[in-house]
Structure 1
Amino acid sequence: MKPVLFISCMLASIFCSSQPATPVNIFIISTDGLRWQEVFRGAAEELLTDVRFVKDTALSREMFWEETLIARRKKLMPFLWSVVEKGGQLHGNRDVKNKVNVSNLYKVSYPGYNEILTGYADPSLMSNKPRNNPNDNLLEFLNNKPAYHNKVVAFSSWNVFPYILNEQRSGFPVNSGYNRMSEKDAAVNMINKVQDSVLTKEATRYDQLTFLQARQYLGQFHPKVLMLSLGETDESAHQKQYDKYLQQAKNFDNMLAELWYMVQTDPFYKDNTLFVITTDHGRGSKPSKWYSHSMLVEGSSETWLALLGPGINPVGEMKSNTQIWQKQIAATVAGLAGQNFEANHPVAAAFQLPVSVYTKQHEIATMSFPTLLLSSPGALFILSLLLISMRIFLQKRNSHLQQ
């Protein structure tokens, strides 16, 4: 074997053995019924000054208003418009013809979450009635894969999620509504006590309680797949309280920031956790219908999507004239995890993104050759061998030519 070929084989062997792939962690995070208009434009002036929807218009304007659209949306959702815009992608700004829509006919929550998580707009799921979902979902699919088995969990404010995810069949824990945490430690006991003290327990738990439970679980058990679904944006909108709706949107952004900071300061999650941030449906696009959504309300199918983490090229706000459907999210996320999502129903194909599946092998493949050489154990030794071998080879070649 020629020296150069021999050394090349040694290099390949070292790189393959010393750089194992690490399956990406996946966090799917949703807030119920948050319009794309607020995400991409910030507070709407015609609603912010409407006394039918805002208790104190002067105070609300001070809290949420800026003269320019760019400043306004960043004031409402600073994490999205700093960290995500710089390091990820934001889809769904219809002002630049970038569209995200639900495919289901009904434009309400159960059909919407089903579509996100199963990749299938099931026409038989017509309402928010709690019934066990017959459709396989992405989370249970991942839970059945060795890399993710028993490392999947869901937390939701809305108490219908055990049915949407079919907890009985899926085989992973779903904490929703005012369910207590079963884990035993001082922090969990405190969260349970606060939750138990809520006098009127509605169908949607306070988002802060849901978030605290999820954060505690993440720190204690380090699941690889998390579904975190928050709901108070939708609750405030249905109450026709635009000021409160904006505050809940801002709270959601704050929770995203806190969760991202936690992830990026934890060695288990750092630089290997994908955030998929979205909503289940839109709302009325007309000022008189902003608080409502259904198959009869214009704008209810219009949603948005944000992506941050490994495999996501940092292109920021998407401004291309493209269309994404909610049912495509499941296959896209599965692909980013290196999986082909298969289920007991049709699954929509993944949408095209300027992304590449992130693995350690991919990282190596995109390195320059000098960087590759110097990034592996023993690389300098191998490089020295390679140079010596090449020198010997050239000396022998020159000697042969001289003869």
Structure 2
Amino acid sequence: MKTRLNIIVITILVSLFAPSAIAQEKVIIITLDGLRWQELFGGADKLFIDNKEFVSNPKELKKRFWAETPTERREKLMPFVWDYIAKNGAILGNRWEGNYVNLTNTMLFSYPGYNEILTGKADDKRINSNNKTNNPNKTILELANTSKTYKNKVMAFGSWDVFPFIINETRSGIPVNAGYRSTLSKKPSEKELFLDKIQAETPRRWGGVRFDVFTHNYALEAMRKEQPDVLFIAYGETDDFAHDGRYDHYLKSAYRTDQMIKEVWEEVNKNPYYKGKTTLFLTTDHGRGDNGKDNSWRSHGSKIKGAEQTWIMAFGKQINPVGEEKVQAQYYVPQFAASIAEILNIKLPQAAEKLPVLK
């Protein structure tokens, strides 16, 4: 009897004082490369949807994504965002409502954008190209991975092959499955081995960017197997289809990504490790132009008007369900990392005001 009592006491003490990885906060960061705020808040753009220069089958595309009002169009394009996130989370950046989200870097292309998103500070002096050079700045991912709480519990998945350098995997120690990399798992599951196989057999449309279906499913399998506490998923197709001038594929990719985000959230809610403990943050690395005549919608950068204009969404455990913000306000991308740092209880080297959507 005494032995049994001792076992019960020890069990209680262990549960009270042992590190509780199960109970700590989980954060999933998702980016949609180059997705314009115009489509997010207004759906398919009438300037482009039946322009045969950008659309191969306008009739088919309009059947899928066109409606008379912006509200109806955006719900067709991104149903999970507007059916769920808008009701249970926060959405910032509808400039038609006077609600602004802006980058602070002046480069206005991908590497500088992701650096700003993940570090909370622009660095125009050192981050001024998309070259594969290791980021001298420490991202929120690296700060988490070098903390006692989240050590070896951070993973990243991206469609673009520059992410290992943006995250500086050599210094940070974070496993980064990006570009056309195969699974990084030491004991690959059957699904991971199958993903490796079909990724190798799939034709490559872009040299350094794979299709998002691979990024997405590698990340989902990691959630099931590795259970990272801090997870970064970077989808890339929207930007590359826009650069190609394929507005039809750009819209279809936005729709698919919306459904992928839904699937990530479904995994959160059926996985006991994540359920009730997870907050999701979403944004984009840059905006784009809004003019079809000069093709500015296809581009971004310091010479493109509107490329500094972005958006932010958040939902999950630590977010107040304020919905789409329709008040006049100005937000900046460094507040994105500051808000994540607040939840993870991590101090950023550079201070920024957190977003007013946290509980």
TM-score normalized by structure 2?
0.90
Residues 68-79 of structure 1 aligned to structure 2 (within 5 Å): 68-79=69-80
Structure 2, unmatched stretches of 5+, are: 1-15
1:45 aligned residue: 46
1:233 aligned residue: 238
2:281 aligned residue: 276
Structure 1, 287-296 or 74-83: larger mean CA deviation: 287-296
Residues 308-327 of structure 1 aligned to structure 2 (within 5 Å): 308-327=315-334
Distance 1:152 1:350 in 2: 24
Give 1:348 shift.
4.1
1:113 equivalent to 2:117? Answer no
Give 1:197 shift.
0.9
Whether the 8 Å contact between 1:65 and 1:72 is mirrored in structure 2 is: yes
Q: Which amino acid aligns with 1:294?
A: G
Whether the 8 Å contact between 1:29 and 1:275 is mirrored in structure 2 is: yes
Distance 1:28 1:252 in 2: 14
Deviations 1:347-367 (A, max 9, x none): 2413341422xxxxxxxxxxx
1:67 equivalent to 2:78? Answer no
Aligned match of 2:179 in 153, 173, 177?
177
Distance 1:166 1:103 in 2: 22
Give 1:131 shift.
0.5
Give 1:238 shift.
0.3
Deviations 1:298-357 (A, max 9, x none): 010000010001121101001121111112211111112233223xxxx2413341422x
Whether the 8 Å contact between 2:336 and 2:355 is mirrored in structure 1 is: no
The total of aligned residue pairs comes to: 335
1:80 aligned residue: 81
Distance 2:156 2:66 in 1: 35
Distance 1:62 1:100 in 2: 31
- RMSD, matched Cα: 1.5
Identity of matched residues, %: 41
1:359 aligned residue: none
Distance 1:148 1:314 in 2: 27
1:139 equivalent to 2:141? Answer yes
1:35 equivalent to 2:39? Answer no
Whether the 8 Å contact between 2:88 and 2:321 is mirrored in structure 1 is: yes
SS in 2 for 1:203: coil
SS in 2 for 1:99: strand
Distance 1:199 1:87 in 2: 39
SS in 1 for 2:79: coil
1:351 aligned residue: 354
Give 1:80 shift.
0.5
Distance 1:222 1:66 in 2: 40
SS in 1 for 2:28: strand
Whether the 8 Å contact between 1:324 and 1:351 is mirrored in structure 2 is: no
Structure ID, larger Rg: 1
1:306 aligned residue: 313
Deviations 1:272-293 (A, max 9, x none): 1111011000000223311111
Distance 1:308 1:108 in 2: 26
Distance 2:184 2:109 in 1: 31
Structure 1, 195-204 or 132-141: larger mean CA deviation: 195-204
Distance 2:255 2:178 in 1: 22
Whether the 8 Å contact between 1:330 and 1:350 is mirrored in structure 2 is: no
2:200 aligned residue: 196
SS in 2 for 1:182: coil
Deviations 1:158-191 (A, max 9, x none): 0000110111000110111011113222111111
Distance 1:182 1:335 in 2: 30
Structure 1, unmatched stretches of 5+, are: 1-16, 357-403
1:241–1:83 distance in 2 versus 1, CA, 3 Å = same
Distance 2:358 2:239 in 1: 31
Distance 1:42 1:224 in 2: 33
Distance 1:153 1:230 in 2: 15
- Counting helix residues as a fraction of each chain, which structure ranks higher? 1
Distance 2:203 2:290 in 1: 35
1:208 aligned residue: 213
1:352–1:190 distance in 2 versus 1, CA, 3 Å = closer
TM-score normalized by structure 1?
0.81
